[in-house]
Amino acid sequence: MTDISSSAVLRSERKLAGGLPYIFTIFLSAGLVFLVQPMFARMALPVLGGSSSVWNVSLVCFQAALLGGYIYAHLLVKLKNVLYETIVHGGFLLLAASVLPLGLTDALGAPYPDAPATWLIGVFALSIAPAFAIISATAPLIQSWYSRSGRHDAADPYHLYAASNVGSLIGLVAYPVLMEPLLSLANQTMSWSIGYGVLAIGLSACGVLAWKTGQNSVALPMKSEDHGSADAQARNMQRLKWLALAFVPSSLLVGTTTHITTDIGSAPFLWAPPLMIYIASFVVVFSSGLTKALRVSTALLPLAIMGVFFLMLMNQTTSWFKFAAFGFDLLTLALAAIVCHGVMADTRPQASRLTEFYLIMSFGGVLGGAFNALVAPVIFSSALEYPIMLVAVLLARPLVFAKPAAEHRFLLLAACLVGLMIVLGRVLAIDVPAPTMLALALVPGVVLVMMRDHLVPSFIAGFALCVTALNATTIRSDDVTTERSFFGIVQTMTLSGIRVMMHGTTLHGAQINDQDGRPEAITYYHPTTPMGQAFATFTEPENVGVIGLGVGATACLMRDGQKATYFEIDPLVAEIATDPTRFTYLSECGENMRIVLGDGRLTLQNDPEGAYDLLLIDAFSSDAIPVHLLTVEAFEGYFSRLSEDGVLIAHISNRHVDLQPILGRLAEHMGLEARVRTHLVGDFSTENPISSSIVVALGRKPSDLGALIDDERWVPLESDGKKMWTDDYSNLLGAIVNHMFDK
């Protein structure tokens, strides 16, 4: 009896051990795939100014390369011989290794100012795509080989996909937690290359193992399909359903990422959570707990969507409120991804159609990401793609098209009327007070919750709530203009006699209308502000450089004869600032001015050393902090372009991050003389068109700072002794958290 039991245990252990090579290989490939994504974005950020669009376009590139890998795997398995497939795949692995170690190619030169997305896609295609695409084929290829391995569970290889996504999650976590803080970029890419070599060995071993154990056995059907006897039209409808179910969560992934990176900051650790949630949904739906997860997510999704829209309605700007809103965004993404991917997993085909299933799922993901990153910025002037997908996902739930109960039809009609009222109000330009708008939103919100089990009624209520939320967040102005570029959404409008430019939620410049002659600079640039004082102090410099154009208000702070060079990464901002029908600072005061398009840190290096006597860095007031402008390497580059007695002025006002310690560390490390002035005033208004600001002045020696040294308002900038930010290390999350708790 004992011998029989021992034999059974031994057979069980052998079965488990026989599957380990497949699990290890698919796990390693997924980890490598999702390690390289933030690594590539980290390489591209210093070139493209820290914009969240860098990550969004990168996501599309990776999804497209993933699709290429799945197409390759789908074609490769048509050889129907595991040994031949292994040999061919080994050859392609060797060929793709030619791009290792990974890095940005110089073949395309500097980024194209008018087409940064095109440049980024081209660089990805030449630098990363070959190796990424070939290892992306691992998941469907290993599962196909497993289905022909002759193992006891060969008919159901889909459980390996869950292992793949666990590897993906670990890869995403490992980058910000281990690789980024511990390794330089050079060491990161070298480590990834070593992992690629190990993966090549593992893939070859799995191919040979599957060939030897299965002897090219044909994949057995996993289960009888619901559409097994359906005609070609029914099968095509199934494919379209898979495509749509993959499209929506992919679009939501990019939309959620845009919200977070625009309102908090542009850094890999902030990009990772939405992608982690997206990947984790595959782990959930391809596990044994699919039925329960799908039921719970279907019930909670309408509640989460209602929460997102109500937080949009409230539209607060405090850090705590924003983090709460982002939490709801992440929760909604998680529920939506589980619903969409869960319905897909529940209708997955037999193993013989495995590569086709993954191919369609990947294609839908590419379309969803491309819609947000490439199409939406062209067809929408504002970020409408995110709320549109929040409503669209309500149709993805596995519910019946049931008629609502009679007592609920009145509520549904009320929700429709609210939506219609809002639309008519917009057409007739009726300004509805915020409390009234919030009260109106309660009607479709209640209907959405009460009728969440009815597909079409809940969709109608969700649409009405979406219309209400979007209307409430629209800025009221007689001449508002909304425009969009690769770098974000820019609005110009007149509010109480002041023309303003907004970039997201941040005021990027303003001018009082109907001024005769030379306009007076306002907001951060008013003569009474630290920047106004700095420009009044340093009147001798001939050449002035400014990183960050805004509306060009600094032009009117300069004396006659000074030459100004503006470095601006966003062509749309340059277009607005130079349009005299909107702002006249540059047309009235910028006679000795030139504008250089591109990332300020990089384009500044095209000028000769010592070219500038005064350099202003004014790119930190947005919600997204361009970390690459605050590193040791960046400041060494700035001072190399300053004359011997040159002065660097840094405008570091920010709602979410205290940048004083970061600059204090840099000043101490470089042996610079540094002074900071904090200027606090009341709320910006027509009567008081001045904004609070924090400005730092840095020079090589005390005499360079002139009268600021003896001005008691300018105090010495101290270092907190913590680790400096470099191109290989930054800690934006810590700076945000410290600022929150210091308030």
Q: Which residue has the higher pLDDT, 700 or 236?
A: 700
pLDDT of residue 403: 55
Q: Which residue has the higher pLDDT, 321 or 723?
A: 723
* pLDDT tops 90 at residue 332: yes
Two tokens, residue 722: 């913590």
pLDDT of 444-467, one tens digit each? Answer: 777 777 777 777 777 878 887 787
CATH number of 19-216+232-396: 1.20.1250.20
- Residue 512 has φ and ψ, to the nearest 5°, of -70, 130
The band of 434, judged by pLDDT with boundaries at 50, 70 and 90, is: low
* pLDDT tops 60 at residue 14: no
pLDDT of residue 600: 87
Q: What is the CATH architecture assignment of 489-742?
A: 3-Layer(aba) Sandwich (3.40)
The H-or-E segment that residue 640 falls in is: helix 632-640
**Integer Cα distance of 497 and 478 in angstroms:** 11
Integer CA distances (angstroms), 29 to 25, 36, 81, 150, 257, in order: 6, 11, 22, 23, 24
pLDDT of residue 198: 93
For 561-570, what is the mean pLDDT?
90
The band of 226, judged by pLDDT with boundaries at 50, 70 and 90, is: very low
pLDDT of 663-708, one tens digit each? Answer: 999 999 999 999 999 998 877 666 778 888 899 999 999 999 999 9
Two tokens, residue 460: 């109608």
For 142-158, what is the mean pLDDT?
79
SS3 687: coil
DSSP 452-510: TTSHHHHHHHHHHHHHHHHHHTSPP-TT-EEEEETTEEEEEEEETTEEEEEETTEEEEE
Average pLDDT, the chain: 80
The rounded percent of the chain whose pLDDT value lies above 70 is 81
Q: How many CB atoms lie within 10 A of CB 590?
A: 20
For 617-635, what is the mean pLDDT?
80
Two tokens, residue 189: 């890419």
**Integer Cα distance of 430 and 346 in angstroms:** 48
8 A C-beta contact, residue 121 and residue 97 = no
8 A C-beta contact, residue 694 and residue 677 = yes
Q: What is the DSSP letter of 398?
A: S
For 575-598, what is the mean pLDDT?
90
Residue of 71, 48, 386, 87 lying closest to 207 (CA atoms): 87
pLDDT of residue 642: 95
Question: 24-28, 634-638, 662-666: which range is least confident on average?
Answer: 24-28
Exposed e or buried b per residue across 48-63, where buried means at least 16 C-beta atoms within 10 angstroms of its C-beta: bbbbbbbbbbbbbbbb
* pLDDT tops 90 at residue 649: yes
For 81-109, what is the mean pLDDT?
88
SS3 700: coil
* pLDDT tops 60 at residue 161: yes
8 A C-beta contact, residue 701 and residue 534 = no
DSSP 72-97: HHHHHGGG--HHHHHHHHHHHHHHHG
pLDDT of residue 669: 94
**Integer Cα distance of 580 and 642 in angstroms:** 31
For 292-317, what is the mean pLDDT?
83
pLDDT of residue 470: 75
**Integer Cα distance of 445 and 461 in angstroms:** 7
SS3 382: coil
**Integer Cα distance of 583 and 214 in angstroms:** 73
pTM: 0.72
Sheet bearing 481-485, strands edge to edge: 481-485, 488-495, 498-503, 506-512
Two tokens, residue 31: 């980890």
**Integer Cα distance of 172 and 151 in angstroms:** 31
The band of 218, judged by pLDDT with boundaries at 50, 70 and 90, is: very low
Angle, in degrees to the nearest 10, between helices 434-450 and 455-472:
170
Helix boundaries (H) for 264-353: 268-285, 290-314, 319-346
Extents of the domains making up the chain: 19-216+232-396, 406-472, 489-742
The letter for the amino acid at 286 is: F
For 384-398, what is the mean pLDDT?
88
pLDDT of 398-426, one tens digit each? Answer: 865 455 555 555 566 666 666 666 655 55
Angle, in degrees to the nearest 10, between helices 185-214 and 82-96:
170
Residue of 151, 104, 143, 109 lying closest to 126 (CA atoms): 104
The band of 135, judged by pLDDT with boundaries at 50, 70 and 90, is: confident
Helix boundaries (H) for 177-289: 180-182, 185-214, 232-263, 268-285
Two tokens, residue 485: 């570029």
* pLDDT tops 90 at residue 715: yes
The band of 515, judged by pLDDT with boundaries at 50, 70 and 90, is: confident
Sheet bearing 642-651, strands edge to edge: 593-597, 563-568, 543-547, 612-617, 642-651, 693-699, 673-679, 715-716
Sign of CA dihedral 491, 494, 498, 499: positive
Tokens 């630290």 belong to which residue? 530
Contact residues for 534 (Cβ-Cβ < 8 A; gap 6+): 649, 695, 697, 708
- Residue 532 has φ and ψ, to the nearest 5°, of -60, -40
8 A C-beta contact, residue 625 and residue 265 = yes
pLDDT of residue 1: 41
Q: Which residue has the higher pLDDT, 51 or 100?
A: 100
pLDDT of residue 291: 84
pLDDT of residue 576: 93
Question: 42-56, 203-217, 717-731: which range is least confident on average?
Answer: 42-56
**Integer Cα distance of 313 and 331 in angstroms:** 18
pLDDT of residue 435: 65
Residue of 464, 294, 472 lying closest to 391 (CA atoms): 464
The band of 61, judged by pLDDT with boundaries at 50, 70 and 90, is: confident
Beta bridge partners of 545: 565, 615
Contact residues for 653 (Cβ-Cβ < 8 A; gap 6+): 524, 620, 621, 691, 692, 693, 694, 695
The band of 475, judged by pLDDT with boundaries at 50, 70 and 90, is: low
Residue of 735, 738, 732, 724 lying closest to 261 (CA atoms): 732
